[in-house]
Amino acid sequence: MSRLARPTHGRMIGGVCAALARRFGTSTTTMRVIFLVSCLLPGPQFLLYIALWILLPSESKVQNKAQTAW
């Protein structure tokens, strides 16, 4: 599994579903469908999405940080 970071390519809104799909080895479409279906259930799905959008670093920031570490 790769590090959890929002990708710069292949994201629709915030890249949270794309990051989760990449982390767990599924397609982004599958992860988006799972998220949409979960929105039919009661719970804080939108708040969790927004929190992950804020907390997950962008892939470009992670790459820049890795390059400066070398």
For the stretch 4-49, pLDDT in tens is: 888 888 778 889 999 999 999 999 999 999 999 999 999 999 999 9
Let me know if residue 58 belongs to a domain: yes
Is the distance from CB of 3 to CB of 18 less than 8 angstroms?
A: no
- The CA-CA-CA angle for residues 59, 16, 28, to 5°, reads 100
Is position 48 within any domain?
Answer: yes
0.85 cut: is pTM over it?
A: no
Residue-range definition of the domain harbouring residue 43: 16-69
Residue 62 maps to a domain: yes
